[in-house]
Structures are given as structure tokens and as C-alpha cells.
């Protein structure tokens, strides 16, 4: 594996970890949950099962389901063939497990092995330990398995949506179960019969739901579904959060109300139960005391003593007569027995066999509680005479007060009743109560739960939510009745005591719905537009950034591929940017010039001038180079060698900060060399031409003057033509030589001060003859403003001669030419105006170029070389001035030049 590959894998793992964590943490939690519970079951360690509230009711199959889920979720993290196999097997197992458990629930089958499998002996007696998984739990496992199976085919939009909905449903199921477990939905919805999954299972499914959503995120399915709907996503998310928060808050409120209600009901139930057990104990003890009073009556003891000594019918009659005296005071029957227990006599009527009888303990004598249309207490008390047991009194008393006591619970509630039971081997014998007129025997366990009466008989007391003998959900207070061996249960139907809560709930869900609706409206009207705007602006920003990036790349490619060097600098000459061509051109390495002064690229000799120009520019003066193109300068490479560059400088104004100067340079050493060679050649040729030309002209002059004798008429014409052309040739040669000398700097410029007026007058006078020859007149417009020029008067005269001769040449027959001077401040403008045809539009831009003539045909009426104006321009600019013209078709032409002027000298 290459270094890059390894780096790529590390980078991927790093970018991967949040989603990996989102899946593996909940998966680990689920796995731990399942293993903990299962370990608890197998080892019988109750603390493992009871570690968390509600863990215990989770049954072994559910624990196994969670273990399989955890493994499957882990396997789904990556798509290697092995993991895929594990995931498939796990998912299939979950589906099967769920189906099997659901079937058991729906058909209400309870195979015996469920009770035994995994269940340690001690755990079997605990509540809810009967091994069957609740229906929602079973369905949740089926859902988990199906979802884990679908992770084979990512990308399909519909499938992605479905998977997300199902994962959401699983999450919701867990949440609802958690809430349901907490607020006992049977309290809210009467006769609610769907089994609730235990808290731990609910938590487990929430974790599975989270892990599945994490897997969906990893598979990139959110993208497949929500690609272009970020604002909708925000909307849904906001709504979801709002709903969740309001749900959680209302649930918390509701559960608080419920807690309070239950606390009150429980407290009052516990109090009522303890009151009643106290009354019952007192009642029984009082009645036993009454039975003892019979046995302690002296006459009765005496009669029984006599019977023991000598039984006789008379003694029996005496005993019966004695017993009859008790019948009025609550005893309905008395039987007197000898020490062996054989009856001697009886008073009143004893009950025969009764529908229900339960023994009472701890009263000191054998006693029992009976039911025969009324409650009876039966007791057998020994009779002692002179230190010897002489017999027994078996008495039966009606307990009229008991039914009355049973009825007084009506104050506690419409469905309130209390039940009195005794143990009867493994069953309970329960006496009639408010809504149950006949006595009955009942089992101690209903479904998988121990009945409260059985708990009371076991000596425990408390308050529970439990089913009662009818299978109805009740809240029941229970307690043993002293040591009597009786249990009391005081209960109210859940339906009744939760009624206020139900009323609240009925209100609550309407409010919640209204709230959710209002929230939805608010969110979609307020949040959505904001989200949309946000998203739109984000999209725009992204698009713009992309576009910018594209453009920047293009620009970079452009200036990198450019043959011309580009240098961007600050106005003070600090280099900010160079393109590769510039670096190549000047022999520097990449980036080497950044931050350096531009003078590095300028030859020593020119640096000072450059520094001065820069200074002037910074001081706000107009630069002479800025905006010019095709300027040729000498430049210097890194190694100190110099070369020629063609150069243009432009100003780049940015919105903020100082402007930047952009220089574009091209190596023109070769071209410049050629140009130089050419002009040198021309100059040399011109010089060489001048000597023979002078000779030719001299000869022609002599011929024309007639010094060589009379020349025949036809020959004269030829000589004239030769003269004219020689003159033209001489002019050309002079102009070429002038041009070359000016350009090469060989022409020295004098520097002197002279007055403008006389100068112009002289110019007009000197050129008048030529103008006259061209049938035009020169005129100086007076007065000439007083001004002094500092220049070379000879060169300036050359300019005047050129402009005046041009004006004369291009004037019409008899045209006037005005020479005029104007002064404005420190400058003087001299203009020469003719009234000829003007300069053709298309020619104007080229007029100052060398050899430029509007009419380049050989049949021109006027002579000229096309060099005159180029020379004028060079001279005027060398003198620090400017030259230009104004011309209109047919309206004549004005050529002007401007020079710095000073006032009259002191
Ligand atoms: P030339 O020696 O040919 O006059 P110049 O450089 O002096 O060379 O002038 C170049 C051309 O400019 C002329 O040939 C002519 O076409 C045009 N030109 C110059 N001055 C004038 C003018 N005053 N009126 C019209 N055209 C003019």
C-alpha cells in the first residue's frame, strides 16, 4: 500500500468517526442491556435484573433479541462480505424471534418451557417472570430485523424514505412505550389492553432507532431524499422538536398530576386499611372477652363442677337455664361441654355447617369467623372450677357491626370496597363484601400477578396497582388484621380514581393538538421563509464562491500561460505580484520578487529618473508613462545584464486601499536591435547620398542658370524636372538625417530664453516666400501676448517651418494662414490655422507617425516626405511641450503646440 493510500484511509476514518460513533454507541448500549439482563436470568442474580427501575420485567427472549440487535447493528457499519453475512443472519433471526413472540401473544399460548427456560428457581416466584415478550416488543424486533435487511440497496429514493419512516416509527414506539410506562395509559384510556413493553425495552428500542438513523446517515440516504429541500428539512426538524418538547412537557405535567393523585389515594387507602384492621382486632378481642364472661360466671362454674362430680339431667337443666340468661346479649347459641368436649346442654340455636369459616389465631382460645347470611364469631372457652377444667363453653355471637363497617367505605369512592379474607390452604377464603353478596374461594395469583389479599395474608401491607378478583385494574391498600390470620384489602377501581386524570387528559390532548397546529402554522409562516432565504443565500454564496474559484483559476491559467510579463506594484514601487513570464524575463525565481522594489528591474542609469517619476506620481502629478502603450525601455535582469522591453503601465483601481500599477513587459531586445540597425543604415545611406546629391544639384544649378550656354527648349524641361526631384530628394535626406539625429539623441538642444513675439514674427517672415510660391499668405495675429520661452529657438523654428509649409501646401489658392499665440498661466499655445480641405478622418490617428501621408500615391500635387510632423512632435516633446491639431473636413486645420512659458525677465 502506498503512502497516499494509507493517508487516504486515515483521512476517511477521521471524517467517518461521527457517524460511526452515532451507530456504535447505541449499538453497544443495546448489546450491554441484553447481556446484563440475560446474565441476571441465567445466574439468578436479582441485582442485575433490578439494577435499573423497570429492568426486571424484561424477559429472557427480549434480552436475547437485544443482543442480536446489537450485533446486527455493528455488522451493518461496514459492507465487507463477512459483516454482510452476519447482518443478514442477525436480521433474519430478529424477524423470526419477533414473529414467534407475537404469535404466542396473539394466540395467548403460554408453553410451560417459557416458565422454566432460563428462569432460576428463585426468580420464578417474582412478578412478571413468566417469560412472554409483550406484543409491542415483538413487533419492534420484527421491524428492526426488516430494517437491517434493507441496508443492501442504498440510493433508491423511495426505499430511503420508507426506511427512514420505519426507523422513526421504531424510535416513536420506544418513546411512546417509555411514556406509557411512566404514566400508566390504562389510567388515561379506559380498558386499555395492549401490553406495555418495560422501560428497559423501550430504552433499548430508542437506542436501536438512533443507531438505525445513524446507519441511514452513513449510507447517505438523507441526501437521496432531501437533496433540494433543506428548508423543508429545517421545517420538519423544527416541528419535530417543537412537538417533542411540548409532548415531553405535557407528559411531565400529566405524570406529576398522576403522581400527586396516586400519592393522595394511596395515603388515604393506607390510612383506611390500618383503621379497619385496628377496629377488627378490637372487635374480635372484645367479643372473645364477652365469651369469657360466660365461662367465668360462678353459678355456671358450680353447675359444671357438680356435673363433673355427678352428671344428672337436673344439673344439665340447671346449666341450660343458666345459659338462657345470656341469649339476650348478642349470643345466638351456647353449648356447654364436659372436659372431653362432649355436649352437656345448649341454649339458643347453634349454626350448623356454614358456607364459609376461617380460623382466627392469637385470641388465646380457639376461635373462628363464620359467614351465614351474617358474620359470626365462634369461640370455645374453658371453664375452670376450684383449679380444675370442668368443661367448655362454645359460643356463637353475631357481628352486626361488620357489614355496617363494610358499607362505610362508600365515602371513599363509588367503586370502593373492602374485602376480608382468610387463608385456606393454597386458596383464600373471602367473605362477602359491598358488591359481592356471597362468599368465595379465590386463587392467590391472577394472571402473572399476586393478588393484594394474598400479599396481606402473607403478612405484608402496602398499596399496589393490581388486578382484583374480577381481573379489573384497581388500586388496593392491603394489610394483615393484627395476628388474627386475616387479610384486609381496601380497593378502588383504577377507572374511578384516575377519572380526574382522564378528564385532564381529554382536555390536554386537545390543547396539545391545538398547540401543535398553531406551532406548525407559526413555523411554516415565520420560520420557513427565513429558512428559505437562508438556504437561497447560502446556495447563492456557494455558487458565487464556485464561480469565483472558476474565474480565479481561469485568470491564474491566463496569466501563467501569458508570454508577456505582468508585474503588479504599489504606487511606491513595491512589487506585489509577478506572473511566471515576468520572473523568467527578469531571471528571478518563483515568488522571489514579491515585496521587493521595482528598481531591481531597472538599470542603474535609469533608476534615479524612475525614482523621481515615482515621487512626482505619489505627489499627485500626472504620470507620463501611465496609460501609454508600446513604450520601449531598457531593463535589467537579476544577473545585471540589460535588455530592451516594450512596456505599458496601467492603473488598477481597487475598491479599497491604494491603487495598484500594472506593468506589462515584453522582451524586445531583438526587435529594437533590428530597428536600430535599420535607422543606422538609413542614416548612413542618407549621409552618403548628401555629397553626390550636392554635386548633382550644383551641376544642375549651373545648367539652369545658363552658365553652360544656351540649352535647347526640350532639354530645359528635363533639367527642371531633375532639379525639382533633386530638391525633393535633398529634403528627404535632410529630414531622414534630422529624424535619426533627434531620435538617437545626437542632436544637441540649446537652452536659452527668448521672447515669443519677435520669434513668431521672424518665423512668418522667413516662410512667407514659400507660402507665396504656394499661392497663400501668412499672417501673424496681433497682439502676441508677452511671454518668454526657454527652449532651443533653432529647433522651434524648424517646427514652425514645418507647420507653416504644411499649411501653405494644403491651403487653397489665395488662402490665408493665421499664426496665433495664447497664454494661459504658465503655458503658451502657438497655433497655425489654414483653410484647406482638412485632414481625412481615417488618417488622423496616424498623422504623427513617420512617413505618414494622407495621400500616398505618386501623383500627389504636393511634395513632402511624411517625416515633418514626426520631427515636430519629437522636438516639441523634447522641449517639454505638447503638440496636437484640430481639423474638420473642408473647414481647414489648426496645428498647435504648447510650451511652458515664463513672464518677462526682470
Ligand atoms: P510632408 O512632408 O509629407 O508634409 P508631414 O509629416 O509634414 O509630411 O505631413 C504628413 C501629412 O499630413 C501630409 O502629407 C498631409 O497629408 C497631412 N497634413 C499635414 N499638414 C496638413 C494640413 N495643414 N492640412 C491638411 N493635411 C495636412
Q: Which residues line ligand 1 (CB under 6 A)?
A: 802, 806-807, 810, 834, 836, 839, 847, 852-855, 864-869, 893
Segment 14-35 mean pLDDT: 81
Q: What is the DSSP letter of 186?
A: G
Residue 361, pLDDT > 70, answer yes
Q: How confident is the model at residue 866 (pLDDT cuts 50, 70, 90)?
A: confident
CA nearest to 166, candidates 216, 201, 106, 230: 216
Segment 374-394 mean pLDDT: 93
71-84 pLDDT per residue, tens: 988 888 887 888 88
Segment 381-406 mean pLDDT: 91
The per-residue pLDDT for 222 is: 63
- C-alpha of residue 802 to centroid of ligand 1, in Å: 9
- C-alpha of residue 830 to centroid of ligand 1, in Å: 18
- C-alpha of residue 785 to centroid of ligand 1, in Å: 28
The per-residue pLDDT for 138 is: 85
Task: Please provide the average confidence, as pLDDT, over all residues in the chain.
Answer: 83
The per-residue pLDDT for 13 is: 59
> Which atom of ligand 1 is found nearest the CA of 855?
16
The answer to whether residues 601 and 586 touch, using CB atoms and an 8 Å cutoff, is yes
The per-residue pLDDT for 860 is: 46
The lowest-confidence range among 176-190, 530-544, 592-606, 763-777 is 176-190
Name all contacts of 602-608 with Cβ < 8 Å and 24+ positions apart.
Answer: 602/635, 602/636, 603/634, 603/635, 603/636, 603/642, 604/636, 605/634, 606/633, 606/634
Tell which wins on pLDDT, 622 or 226.
622
Atom 20 of ligand 1, nearest CA residue: 806
Segment 825-844 mean pLDDT: 91
Atom 12 of ligand 1, nearest CA residue: 853
Q: Do the strands 776-780 and 815-824 form a parallel or antiparallel pair, or are they unpaired?
A: parallel
Segment 259-271 mean pLDDT: 87
Residue 230, pLDDT > 60, answer yes
- C-alpha of residue 868 to centroid of ligand 1, in Å: 8
Residue 563, pLDDT > 50, answer yes
Residue 192, pLDDT > 70, answer no
> Which atom of ligand 1 is found nearest the CA of 860?
14
Task: Give how far Cα 252 sits from Cα of 173, 182, 196, 509, Å.
Answer: 18, 9, 19, 14
- C-alpha of residue 769 to centroid of ligand 1, in Å: 19
The lowest-confidence range among 2-11, 602-611, 677-686, 800-809 is 2-11
- C-alpha of residue 688 to centroid of ligand 1, in Å: 27
The answer to whether residues 625 and 612 touch, using CB atoms and an 8 Å cutoff, is no
- C-alpha of residue 864 to centroid of ligand 1, in Å: 8
Residue 200, pLDDT > 60, answer yes
The values of phi and psi at residue 473, to 5°, are -70, 130
The answer to whether residues 762 and 849 touch, using CB atoms and an 8 Å cutoff, is no
Residue 194, pLDDT > 50, answer no
Residue 476, pLDDT > 80, answer yes
Mapped onto helix, strand or coil, the DSSP state of residue 620 is: coil
Tell which wins on pLDDT, 695 or 657.
695
Q: How confident is the model at residue 858 (pLDDT cuts 50, 70, 90)?
A: very low
The per-residue pLDDT for 395 is: 95
The per-residue pLDDT for 126 is: 47
- C-alpha of residue 853 to centroid of ligand 1, in Å: 6
The per-residue pLDDT for 127 is: 44
The lowest-confidence range among 305-319, 477-491, 672-686 is 672-686
The answer to whether residues 778 and 808 touch, using CB atoms and an 8 Å cutoff, is yes
Tell which wins on pLDDT, 431 or 220.
431
Q: How confident is the model at residue 53 (pLDDT cuts 50, 70, 90)?
A: very low
Secondary structure (DSSP) of 711-741: --HHHHHHHHHHHHHHHHHHHHHHHHHHHHH
CA nearest to 482, candidates 393, 367, 397: 367
CA nearest to 719, candidates 736, 737, 707: 707
Residue 549, pLDDT > 90, answer yes
Residue 54, pLDDT > 50, answer no
Q: Which residues of 609-643 are buried (b: 16+ CB within 10 A; e: fewer)?
A: ebeebbeebeeeeeeeeeeeeeeebebbeeeeeeb
**Residue 844 cell numbers, joined:** 488622423
Residue 447, pLDDT > 80, answer no
The lowest-confidence range among 10-24, 112-126, 159-173, 718-732 is 112-126
Atom 16 of ligand 1, nearest CA residue: 854
Atom 21 of ligand 1, nearest CA residue: 806
Residue 661 β-bridge partners: 569, 651
Atom 23 of ligand 1, nearest CA residue: 807
Handedness of CA 531, 533, 534, 536 (dihedral sign): positive
Q: How many CB atoms lie within 10 A of CB 259?
A: 12
Segment 503-522 mean pLDDT: 81
> In whole angstroms, what is the distance from residue 640 CA to residue 120 CA?
99
- C-alpha of residue 783 to centroid of ligand 1, in Å: 28
Residue 857, pLDDT > 60, answer no
Residue 125, pLDDT > 50, answer no
The per-residue pLDDT for 421 is: 94
Segment 304-321 mean pLDDT: 92
The lowest-confidence range among 317-326, 620-629, 746-755 is 620-629
For the question of whether the overall pTM of this predicted structure is more than 0.75, the answer is: no
The lowest-confidence range among 510-524, 638-652, 801-815, 886-900 is 510-524
The per-residue pLDDT for 822 is: 93
Residue 158, pLDDT > 80, answer no
- C-alpha of residue 686 to centroid of ligand 1, in Å: 22
Residue 117, pLDDT > 60, answer no
Give 142's contacts (C-beta < 8 A, 6+ positions apart).
94, 95, 98, 99, 102
Pocket test for ligand 1, best of 801, 869, 889 (most atoms within 8 A of CB): 869
Tell which wins on pLDDT, 502 or 86.
86
The per-residue pLDDT for 253 is: 81
Mapped onto helix, strand or coil, the DSSP state of residue 808 is: helix
The per-residue pLDDT for 55 is: 45
> Which atom of ligand 1 is found nearest the CA of 870?
6
- C-alpha of residue 866 to centroid of ligand 1, in Å: 7
Pocket test for ligand 1, best of 800, 838, 847 (most atoms within 8 A of CB): 847
Pocket test for ligand 1, best of 728, 817, 844, 864 (most atoms within 8 A of CB): 864
Tell which wins on pLDDT, 423 or 529.
423
Task: Return the residue matching grid coordinates 423501550.
Answer: 202
3-state SS of 764-801? HHHHHHHHHHCCEEEEECCCCCCCEEEECHHHHHHHHH
What's the residue count for the chain? 906
Q: How confident is the model at residue 550 (pLDDT cuts 50, 70, 90)?
A: very high
Q: How many CB atoms lie within 10 A of CB 306?
A: 17
Atom 14 of ligand 1, nearest CA residue: 853
Q: What is the DSSP letter of 751?
A: -
> In whole angstroms, what is the distance from residue 487 CA to residue 471 CA?
19
**Residue 324 cell numbers, joined:** 338462657
Amino acid at each position: 500500500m502506498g503512502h497516499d493510500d494509507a493517508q487516504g484511509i486515515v483521512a476517511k476514518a477521521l471524517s467517518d468517526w461521527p457517524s460511526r460513533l452515532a451507530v456504535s454507541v447505541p449499538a453497544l448500549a443495546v448489546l450491554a442491556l441484553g447481556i446484563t439482563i440475560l446474565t441476571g436470568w441465567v445466574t439468578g442474580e436479582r441485582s442485575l435484573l433490578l439494577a435499573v427501575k423497570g429492568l426486571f420485567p424484561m424477559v429472557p427472549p427480549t434480552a436475547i433479541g437485544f443482543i442480536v440487535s446489537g450485533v446486527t447493528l455493528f455488522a451493518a457499519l461496514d459492507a465487507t462480505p463477512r459483516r454482510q453475512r452476519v447482518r443478514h443472519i442477525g436480521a433474519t433471526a430478529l424477524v423470526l424471534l419477533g414473529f414467534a413472540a407475537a404469535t404466542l401473544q396473539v394466540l395467548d399460548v403460554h408453553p410451560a418451557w417459557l416458565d422454566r427456560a432460563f428462569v432460576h428457581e428463585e426468580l420464578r416466584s417474582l412478578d412478571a417472570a413468566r417469560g412472554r415478550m409483550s406484543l409491542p416488543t415483538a413487533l419492534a424486533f420484527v421491524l428492526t430485523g426488516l430494517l437491517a435487511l434493507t441496508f443492501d440497496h442504498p440510493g433508491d429514493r423511495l426505499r430511503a424514505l420508507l426506511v427512514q419512516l420505519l426507523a422513526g416509527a421504531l424510535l416513536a414506539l420506544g418513546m411512546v412505550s417509555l411514556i406509557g410506562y411512566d404514566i400508566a395509559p390504562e389510567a388515561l384510556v379506559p380498558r386499555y389492553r395492549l401490553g406495555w413493553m418495560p422501560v428497559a425495552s423501550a430504552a433499548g428500542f430508542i437506542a436501536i432507532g438512533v443507531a438505525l438513523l445513524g446507519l441511514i446517515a452513513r449510507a447517505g440516504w438523507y441526501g437521496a431524499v432531501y437533496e433540494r429541500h433543506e428548508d423543508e428539512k429545517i421545517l420538519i426538524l423544527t416541528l419535530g422538536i417543537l412537538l417533542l418538547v411540548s409532548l415531553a412537557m405535557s407528559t411531565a405535567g400529566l405524570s406529576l398530576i398522576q403522581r400527586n393523585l396516586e400519592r393522595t389515594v394511596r395515603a388515604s387507602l393506607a390510612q383506611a386499611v390500618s383503621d379497619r384492621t385496628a377496629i377488627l382486632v378490637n372487635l374480635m378481642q372484645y367479643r372473645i372477652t364477652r365469651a369469657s364472661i360466660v365461662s367465668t360466671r360462678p353459678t355456671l362454674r358450680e353447675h359444671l363442677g357438680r356435673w363433673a362430680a355427678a352428671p344428672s339431667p337436673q344439673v344439665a337443666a340447671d346449666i341450660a337455664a343458666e345459659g338462657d340468661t345470656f341469649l339476650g346479649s348478642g349470643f345466638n347459641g351456647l353449648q356447654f361441654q364436659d372436659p372431653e368436649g362432649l355436649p352437656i346442654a345448649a341454649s339458643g340455636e347453634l349454626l350448623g355447617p356454614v358456607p364459609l369459616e376461617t380460623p382466627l389465631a392469637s385470641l388465646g382460645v380457639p376461635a373462628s369467623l363464620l359467614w351465614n347470611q351474617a358474620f359470626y364469631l365462634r369461640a370455645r372457652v374453658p371453664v375452670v372450677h376450684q383449679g380444675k377444667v370442668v368443661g367448655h363453653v362454645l359460643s356463637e355471637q353475631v357481628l352486626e357491626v361488620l357489614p355496617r363497617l363494610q358499607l362505610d367505605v362508600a365515602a371513599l369512592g363509588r367503586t370502593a370496597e373492602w374485602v376480608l379474607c382468610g387463608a385456606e390452604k393454597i386458596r383464600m377464603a373471602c367473605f362477602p363484601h359491598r358488591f359481592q353478596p356471597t362468599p368465595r374461594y379465590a386463587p392467590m395469583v391472577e394472571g402473572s400477578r399476586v393478588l393484594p389479599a394474598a400479599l396481606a395474608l402473607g403478612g405484608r401491607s402496602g398499596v399496589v396497582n393490581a388486578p382484583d378478583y374480577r381481573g379489573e385494574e384497581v388500586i388496593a391498600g392491603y394489610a394483615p388484621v393484627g395476628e388474627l390470620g386475616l387479610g384486609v384489602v381496601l380497593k378502588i377501581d383504577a377507572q374511578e380514581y384516575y377519572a380526574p386524570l382522564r378528564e385532564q387528559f381529554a382536555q390536554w390532548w386537545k390543547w396539545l393538538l391545538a398547540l401543535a397546529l398553531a406551532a406548525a402554522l407559526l413555523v411554516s409562516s415565520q420560520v420557513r421563509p427565513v429558512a428559505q432565504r437562508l438556504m437561497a443565500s447560502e446556495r447563492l454564496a456557494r455558487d458565487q464562491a464556485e464561480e469565483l474559484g472558476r474565474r480565479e483559476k481561469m485568470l491564474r491559467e491566463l496569466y501563467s500561460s501569458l508570454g508577456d510579463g505582468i508585474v503588479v506594484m504599489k504606487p511606491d514601487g513595491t512589487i506585489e505580484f509577478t506572473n511566471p513570464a515576468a520572473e523568467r524575463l527578469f531571471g528571478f525565481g518563483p515568488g522571489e520578487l514579491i515585496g521587493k522594489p521595482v528598481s531591481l528591474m531597472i538599470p542603474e542609469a535609469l533608476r534615479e529618473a524612475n525614482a523621481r517619476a515615482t515621487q512626482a506620481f505619489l505627489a499627485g502629478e500626472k504620470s507620463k508613462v501611465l496609460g501609454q502603450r508600446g513604450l520601449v525601455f531598457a531593463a535589467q535582469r537579476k544577473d545585471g545584464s540589460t535588455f530592451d522591453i516594450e512596456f505599458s503601465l496601467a492603473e488598477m483601481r481597487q475598491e479599497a486601499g491604494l491603487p495598484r500599477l500594472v506593468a506589462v513587459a515584453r522582451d524586445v531586445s531583438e526587435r529594437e536591435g533590428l530597428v536600430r540597425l535599420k535607422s543606422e543604415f538609413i542614416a548612413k545611406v542618407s549621409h552618403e547620398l548628401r555629397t553626390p546629391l550636392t554635386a548633382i544639384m550644383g551641376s544642375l544649378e549651373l545648367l539652369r542658370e545658363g552658365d553652360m550656354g544656351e540649352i535647347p527648349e526640350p532639354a530645359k524641361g528635363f533639367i527642371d524636372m531633375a532639379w525639382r526631384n533633386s530638391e525633393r530628394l535633398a529634403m528627404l535626406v535632410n529630414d531622414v538625417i534630422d529624424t535619426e539625429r533627434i531620435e538617437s539623441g545626437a542632436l544637441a538642444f540649446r537652452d536659452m530664453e527668448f521672447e515669443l513675439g519677435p520669434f513668431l514674427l521672424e518665423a512668418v517672415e522667413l516662410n512667407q516666400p514659400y507660402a507665396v510660391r504656394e499661392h497663400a499668405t501668412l499672417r501673424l495675429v496681433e497682439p502676441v501676448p508677452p511671454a518668454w520661452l526657454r527652449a532651443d529657438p533653432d529647433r522651434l523654428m524648424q517646427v514652425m517651418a514645418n507647420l507653416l509649409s504644411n499649411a501653405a501646401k494644403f491651403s487653397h489658392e489665395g488662402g490665408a494662414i493665421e499664426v496665433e499665440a495664447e497664454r494661459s498661466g504658465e503655458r503658451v499655445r502657438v497655433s497655425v490655422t489654414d483653410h484647406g480641405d482638412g485632414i481625412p478622418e481615417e488618417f488622423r490617428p496616424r498623422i504623427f507617425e513617420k512617413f505618414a501621408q494622407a495621400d500616398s500615391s505618386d501623383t500627389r500635387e504636393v511634395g513632402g516626405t511624411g517625416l515633418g510632423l514626426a520631427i515636430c512632435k519629437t522636438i516639441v516633446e523634447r522641449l517639454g511641450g505638447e503638440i496636437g491639431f484640430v481639423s474638420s473636413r473642408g473647414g481647414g486645420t489648426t496645428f498647435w503646440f504648447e510650451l511652458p512659458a515664463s513672464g518677462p525677465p526682470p
